[in-house]
Structure 1
Amino acid sequence: MYQNNGKPTILGDCILLVISIIINSFGNALTVSLNLGSALWTASAVNMSHLFNMNLGNILLLEGVAVILANALMLREFDWHRMLGNVIFMVPFSYLVSGLSSLLSTLDIQRLPLIPSVIIDIIGVMFIGCGISIYQRLNLLLHPNDDLMQIIRFRYLHGNAVTASLAAFSIPIVIMIITFAIQHQLWAVNIGTIVALLFQGTFIAVSDKYIFRKLKHQRLS
């Protein structure tokens, strides 16, 4: 799966990318179906889906398009290769999260006792951080939300994953403040959201170190 120089082969890139998308999608779906707090971007999309009465997958897709444009503004260029990669990643990811969330909801995992539910929700947030870590290191295709964090991390914050994660989260926080002001209710915001806010950057940094340890950050130039 790796070349002699330590970089992944083409097949290795593809395998690791698929693994990372599945891990991240499953983690997001766990947090959404438990309704004990999702990662902030997902939570903001859940609240917008209630506000506009739209499918979660469609909202995740529209939210991603908006972030693609924001990333282009930050980079001060329209990098069409990068933007196309964002779209290629985002479309299956958005509907995979939506579909897995619906599937998990049919299993009645919301009826689990509180303590196991909280533990599983936190594990879901950890899965999200792990998935992000893998595909950010690959840097082959990125979800636009994670591309935003990557831009902030390496262009402005000297590679600090924790601070970059907190900075990127300011956008979904503002979105949820606006939706709450309109609806007077929040969905997918709970202990898992707090864990994601405080520790998702840490989960990414730890995964960088211990998950697929040979995989280093690629294509940063």
Structure 2
Amino acid sequence: MQAIQTISKPKLLGYFIFSIFLNSLGNALTVAINLGSALWTAAAVNLSKVLPITLSVMLILSGIIVIVTNIIILGRFDFKRVLGNLIFMVPFSWLVGVFEVQLLKLHITHLPLWAQVILDCLGVVLIAVAISIYQRVNWMLHPVDDLMQIIRFKYLQGNATVAQLLVFTPPIVAIVISLLVTHQLYAINIGTLFALAFQGTIVEIADKVVFPSLKHQNLATKL
């Protein structure tokens, strides 16, 4: 574990800003092409069909539930960490909307299906690379990615593949329950399956090949 910060704050800030842009672009690609949402988003979509709650409210509720889960696992309340979780979601959500509009102007949904599938999977790859970068920066994280980081280093000796699969378990359970109630699946497609199969592995690979000099910062103080 990296017990101290080994990179200057301006450089960390640069990595962080770049990773938010990358994550937003990746999510916007998957949303614009509409060939399957990420698992947590897909779970929120399916639960919103079961409960009298809008998708936006469901996404907020799921984020809050994950924040509470992180607090329970860590055994302490870290105000700065929780505030960082909440702050992260603001520019991220705004940028996803901006990028989606611009991507749709490029008429990517008019491309052949095989090209759309490639772009959708590329979106998942960009998301995974972004997660790798801002987890290593370890400053502000999306609650779900923070949960993965906690499980990855607190219990799994840094294994991103297994940690990602464990973090995907709650949304999978929620989707199954929704399916049993509605007998329909929403927001599930090739992109969702690709993320389930490969996102954690891509995070682990990106740790080694994307900005390899950037190591995980301040893990000892965060866990």
TM-score range (shorter-chain normalised) is: 0.7 to 0.9
Unaligned runs of 5+ in 2: none
CA 1:185/1:100 → structure 2, altered by over 3 Å: closer, same or farther?
farther
CA contact (8 A) 2:19 2:131 kept: yes
How has the CA–CA distance of structure 1 residues 43 and 55 changed in structure 2, closer, same or farther, with 3 Å as cutoff? Answer: closer
Deviates more, 1:180-189 or 1:34-43: 180-189
CA drift of 1:100 comes to 3.3
Counterpart of 1:173, as a letter, is I
User: In the TM superposition, what is the alpha-carbon distance from 1:181 to its structure 2 partner?
Assistant: 3.1
Choose between structure 1 and 2 for higher RCO, CA contacts under 8 A separated by at least 6 residues. Answer: 2
Residue 40 of structure 1 is matched in structure 2 by: 39
* Aligned residue number for residue 54 of structure 2: 54
1:53-72 equivalent positions in 2, closer than 5 A: 54=54, 56=56, 58-72=57-71
Give the deviation of 1:117 after TM superposition.
0.7
Is 1:206 equivalent to 2:213 in the alignment? no
Q: Could you tell me whether the CA contact under 8 Å between 1:28 and 1:42 is conserved in 2?
A: no
- Residue 88 of structure 1 corresponds to 87
Partner of 1:118: 117
SS of residue matched to 1:169 = helix
Residue number in structure 2 paired with 1:13: 12
Any idea what SS the aligned residue of 1:213 has?
Answer: coil
Is residue 61–residue 91 contact of structure 1 (8 Å, CA) maintained in 2?
A: no
Which residue of structure 2 aligns with residue 196 of structure 1? Answer: 195
Q: 1:138: how far off?
A: 0.4
Change (3 A) 1:6 1:148: closer
Q: CA RMSD, aligned part only?
A: 2.2
4+ runs of 1 displaced by more than 6 Å?
A: none
Deviation string, structure 1 residues 165-198 (Cα, Å, up to 9, x no partner): 1011001112222333343332321111111111
CA contact (8 A) 2:28 2:100 kept: yes
Name the SS of the counterpart of 2:219 in structure 1.
coil
Pick closer, same or farther for the CA change 1:175–1:101 going to 2, 3 Å: farther
The equivalent residue for 1:152 is 151
Amino acid at match of 1:114: L
Letter in 1 for 2:12: D
What's the CA shift string for 1:27-46, capped at 9, x where partnerless?
A: 11111221212221232234
Distance change in 2, residues 1:166/1:157 (3 Å): same
Q: Which residue of 2 aligns with 1:137?
A: 136
> Aligned letter for 1:47?
N
TM-score by length of 1: 0.88
Cα offset, 1:8, TM superposition: 2.6
- Residue in 2 that maps onto 1:175: 174
The whole-number CA distance in structure 2 between the counterparts of 1:48 and 1:8 is: 42
> 2: distance between equivalents of 1:180 and 1:105?
30
User: How many residues are treated as equivalent by the alignment?
Assistant: 216
Between the two proteins, what is the percent identity of the paired residues?
A: 51
Relative distance call for 1:172 and 1:97 in structure 2 (3 A) is farther
> For the structure 1 residues 48 and 187, does the alpha-carbon distance in structure 2 shift closer, same or farther, using more than 3 Å as the test?
same
TM-score normalised by L of structure 2? 0.87
What amino acid is aligned across from residue 36 of structure 1 in structure 2?
L
